[in-house]
């Protein structure tokens, strides 16, 4: 699942490559992911329009076009964008392609068919976008604001961190990394946290995401379709030694996701499966 660091690097790359380029062709090969909120022909608001900005908001990518249209990508679990020369043959069959007058094409593929691509005249029409909480790396999200927002939520901490209405941009993988950094059990209830716990979670949220962002800026380049996770410390590393204490990393399948953590560094009572 692409998360804040992945999508921020993609947005920065496409901002450099596509701003000023005009759309020359739109191909919808698998319509299941496309939501045309204009109605009518998809090409009408797109072809001839120039890209004026590319940005990230939470786990959405937003493309602003000179026609006033907005192209919004919410990749969800498995959606991927590939940037390539229009003449280049790429593996697989994409769902949607946008080609540009600079000789490039942006293709969207989604093996799970769970993501969404919106063509819309207004961002407020995109489901889930207006309800996002503050960005997890926003300069306006202070410790005090984080703590106050956290008090409004109940339940397990990992579930709260991945709730986009709490803070935007964190998914399954980076929630594991943040809680490992903070030495907090992923299934711990929010109401058991003290102020020191909250401060550690906040600090780790900022440091883990920023460190990942710095790493990906160095490594991704034009290969925005590649998901690089080999530098993560616990997520996806079940049975491997904890980098902090050497205990085998545990993995639990619950809440329709895999949670990776160290039961020595992050003690807690395991839930019954």
46 Rama sector, left if φ>0, alpha if ψ -120 to 50, beta otherwise: alpha
Residue 254 DSSP SS3:
strand
Cβ atoms of 93 and 144 closer than 8 Å: no
Of the candidates 30, 229, 257, 263, the residue annotated as catalytic is 257
Residues with Cβ < 8 Å from 256, sequence gap 6 or more? none
List the catalytic residue out of 59, 70, 158, 237.
59
Q: Which residue, among 45, 63, 55, 46, has the nearest Cα to 8 in the 3D structure?
A: 55
Residues 246 and 265: their CA atoms lie apart, in Å, by: 10
3 labelled catalytic: yes
Active site residue 149: no
Q: Edge-to-edge strand order for the sheet containing 96-100?
A: 23-28, 96-100, 104-109, 80-85
Owner of token pair 């709260």? 160
CB burial string 59-83: b at 16+ within 10 A, e below: bbbbbbbebebbbbbbbbeebbbbb
Choice among 2, 5, 45, 186 that is catalytic: 2
Active site residue 93: no
State the burial class of residue 52 (Cβ atoms within 10 Å of its Cβ: 0-12, 13-18, 19+). Answer: middle
Annotated catalytic, 243? no
Residues 6+ apart with CB under 8 A from 198: 143, 146, 147, 150
Positions annotated as catalytic residues are 2-3, 59, 257
């Amino acid at each position: 699942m692409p998360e804040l660091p992945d999508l921020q690097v993609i947005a920065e790359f496409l901002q450099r490559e596509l701003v000023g380029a005009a759309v020359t062709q739109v191909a919808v090969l698998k319509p299941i992911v496309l939501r045309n909120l204009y109605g009518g022909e998809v090409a009408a608001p797109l072809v001839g329009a120039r890209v004026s900005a590319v940005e990230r908001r939470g786990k959405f990518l937003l493309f602003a076009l000179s026609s006033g249209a907005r192209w919004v990508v919410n990749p969800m679990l498995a959606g991927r964008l590939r940037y390539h020369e229009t003449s280049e043959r790429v593996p697989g069959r994409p769902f949607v392609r946008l080609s540009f007058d600079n000789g490039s094409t942006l293709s969207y593929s989604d093996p799970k068919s769970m993501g969404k691509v919106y063509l819309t005249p207004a961002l407020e029409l995109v489901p889930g976008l207006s309800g996002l909480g503050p960005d997890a790396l926003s300069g306006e999200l202070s410790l005090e604001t984080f703590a106050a927002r956290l008090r409004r939520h109940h339940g397990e901490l990992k579930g709260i961190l991945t709730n986009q209405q709490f803070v935007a941009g964190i998914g399954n993988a980076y929630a594991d990394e943040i809680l490992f950094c903070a030495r907090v059990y992923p299934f711990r209830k929010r109401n058991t946290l003290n102020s020191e716990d909250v401060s550690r979670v906040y600090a780790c949220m900022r440091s883990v995401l920023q460190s990942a962002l710095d790493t990906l800026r160095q490594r991704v380049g034009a290969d925005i379709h590649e998901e690089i996770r080999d530098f993560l410390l616990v997520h996806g590393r079940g049975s491997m030694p904890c980098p902090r204490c050497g205990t085998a990393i545990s993995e639990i399948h619950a809440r329709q996701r895999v949670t990776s953590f160290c039961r020595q560094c992050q003690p807690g009572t395991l839930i019954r499966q």
